[in-house]
Amino acid sequence: MNWLIFIEIIYPIVLVLVSFRIIYDTRSSAKTLAYLLFVIFVPLFGMIFYFLVGINYRKRKLYSKKLIEDGHLAQKIVVDVIAYSKKTLEQNNSIIQQNKELAYLLIQDNLSALTAGNEVKLLINGEHKFPEVIAALKAAQHHIHIEYYIYEDDKIGNEVAEILIQKAKEGIAVRFIYDDFGSYAIRKKMVARMKAEGVEVFPFHKITFIALANRMNYRNHRKIIVIDGKTAFVGGINISDKYINNTTYPKKLFWRDTHLRIDGPGIYYLQYLFFCAWNFCAKDNLQPDSSFFPEISSFKGNGNKLVQIAASGPDSGRPTILYSLLQAISLAKEEVLITTPYFIPGESIKDVLLVAALGGVSVKLLVPGISDSVLVNSAAHSYYSDLLKAGVEIYLYKKGFIHAKTLVTDKNMSIVGTANMDYRSFDLNFEVNAIVYDHEIAKELANVFYSDIKDAEKIDGNNWEVRPLYKQLVERTARLISPLL
């Protein structure tokens, strides 16, 4: 009885303290309310859940992205990046005119240079990505940098690993960061084998039972490969057999995804992101020099694409990727084409899509008809009614699972990357998107979108509104907890 009385006195005090912590620590008002309701109405477990996944690391940056210790040199780099970007804007004014506000946003908020003279190749699915990756890895002469969310111990995973090992034996510096949660399959045997053969391998934010509470929620969802400081790959395709749709890699489900190969100065920011993560994971002090960031004049080829990188995560002061998507959609004049596997947009993305559609812009959204998360899919469905009423066209992909994260506006600007349209990508995980300001790439990606919707079912707005009430109730309930998904 004494213990019961003690608990009855202590628990309300703890609840009040945790509630204050949530209010002070959580940036999003929707998430704040969701966590408060959870800890109040789900005794004890709600508090445990909050401390497992709810701590806001954006206010306590997980690591510093400061690479240059010399303050004067760092300031000079800032000035040079801004000057170079403004010059690129002036020299390519006709191409980027409609999206210059987006370019300025990323320069100011992310210090992400607007780069010219890039070659960009669109890679559809693993069967197109991996031959390009393998050829580029084999041609490496100085270094290979790899940072991946999911790396599987399967056929393609072992094929890539063997190349990394061979390049390390040749004296090429091979540095590999894997997410300790997403790449759990390689943590023992494959990682040990690569280390033994000379590949430098480190987990991102290693998960241990002691550290579980602070680390489960802040994962490195990026997929980055940088080779010799001149070639890079970025997009939605992890290293796994399931992304390859051919008889050599048999599987049950067709997997649709999109990736980019970039050759040119557009890879600088991807290299910078890798450096930051590497120094954090390896406790290293790898410093940038011309072998990692070659002079722009050293790039050979006929590249004419403008490229900029948007990145954000718990290490950034603001949700830059969210801001860049809002800006890109708001700048569209005729058409917005969005593909995303997880659509829990929150009020800001939902509202900008509504404004665009009501303003006469053709807005089309392609999402999975076959989903790997019933709860996330239900939460996504709760947003469809408002969008359909405003004239947004929503398509459910039926051929398999669509995992691509792309956006095209007015066939002159494209975004391909790792970020989904959900709270997790905007606020919790380390993400990266590549923005390409170019008519050819935009038209090519738009054609891919229109090809994809041939394998999709368009939602009929009238039928959607008369769905069974129990389904609507489940979806609305899922939406209430969507900030926690």
Query: Where do the H-state alpha helices sit in 359-438?
Result: 374-389, 423
Q: Is 50 exceeded by the pLDDT of residue 219? A: yes
Q: How confident is the model at residue 21 (pLDDT cuts 50, 70, 90)?
A: confident
- Among residues 145, 364, 403, 411, the one annotated as catalytic is 403
Six-digit token string for 319: 């949700």
Q: What domains sit in the chain, N to C, each tagged with a CATH number?
A: 2-53 (no CATH), 119-303 (3.30.870.10), 320-484 (3.30.870.10)
- Tell me the mean pLDDT in the region 365-373: 85
Top-confidence residue, 12 or 404? 404
**List 228, 257, 315, 427, catalytic entry:** 228
Tell me the pTM: 0.89
The pLDDT tens digits of the residues spanning 34-79 come to: 778 878 878 777 787 777 666 655 555 556 666 665 566 567 777 8
Under 8 Å between Cβ of 444 and 426: no
Cβ count near 346 (within 10 Å)? 19
- H or E element that contains 262: strand 258-263
CA distance 230 to 422: 32
Q: So what's the pLDDT on residue 20?
A: 81
**The pLDDT of residue 223 is above 70:** yes
Strands 362-368 and 335-339, sheet pairing: parallel
Q: Which of 137, 148, 213, 208 is nearest to 182 (CA)?
A: 148
pLDDT at 477: 77
What is the percent of the chain where pLDDT is above 70? 89
**Residue 138 falls in the annotated catalytic set:** no
Question: Of these residues, 167, 223, 230, 411, which one is catalytic?
Answer: 223
Model confidence band, residue 2 (pLDDT cutoffs 50, 70, 90): low
Active site residue 454: no
DSSP lists the bridge partners of residue 337 as: 364, 408
pLDDT band at 95 (very low <50, low <70, confident <90, very high): confident
Q: If you average pLDDT over residues 443-462, what whole number do you get?
A: 97
Q: Chain-wide mean pLDDT for the chain?
A: 88
| pLDDT over 80 (residue 301) | no
Residue 122 vs residues 235, 260, 482: alpha-carbon distances, Å: 10, 5, 32
Q: Place 210 in a pLDDT band, splitting at 50, 70 and 90.
A: very low
Per-residue pLDDT of 304-357, as tens digits, reads 999 999 999 887 888 999 999 999 999 999 999 999 999 999 889 999 999 999
pLDDT tens-digit series, residues 147-203: 999 999 999 999 999 999 999 999 999 999 999 999 999 998 999 999 999 999 999
Compute the distance between CA of residue 362 and CA of residue 254 in angstroms, rounded to an integer. 28
Closest CA to 151 of 172, 174, 180: 180
Catalytic status, residue 228:
yes
Task: Judge whether residue 288 has pLDDT over 90.
Answer: no
Query: Does the active-site annotation cover 59?
Result: no
Q: Say what the pLDDT of residue 362 is.
A: 98
As a whole number of angstroms, the distance between CA 419 and CA 127 comes to: 22
Quick one: pLDDT at residue 384? 92
Distance (Å, whole) CA 12 – CA 15: 5
- Residue 225's SS3 state is strand
> Is 458 a catalytic site residue?
no
Q: What is the mean pLDDT of residues 456-462?
A: 94
The active-site residue out of 405, 411, 422, 438 is 405
Ordered DSSP codes for 4-20:
HHHHHHHHHHHHHHHHH
Task: Measure the CA–CA gap between 481 and 223, rounded to whole angstroms.
Answer: 28
Mean local confidence (pLDDT), 86-114:
91
Q: Which of 410, 422, 427, 452 is catalytic?
A: 410
Q: E strand or H helix at 168, and its extent? A: helix 155-169
Per the annotation, the verdict on 381 as an active-site residue is: no
Helix (H, G, I), strand (E, B) or coil at 206: coil
- Among the ranges 34-38, 248-252, 421-425, 481-485, which has the highest mean pLDDT value? 421-425
Q: Looking at 128, 205, 221, 364, which residue is catalytic?
A: 221
With 80 as the cut, is the pLDDT of residue 6 above it?
no
d(CA 114, CA 92): 10
Residue 447 has which token pair? 């054609």
DSSP state of 460: P
pLDDT in tens, 260-286: 999 999 999 999 999 999 998 998 888
Residue 213 has pLDDT above 50, yes or no: no
Matching residue, tokens 């066209």: 393
Q: Is the pLDDT of residue 3 over 90?
A: no
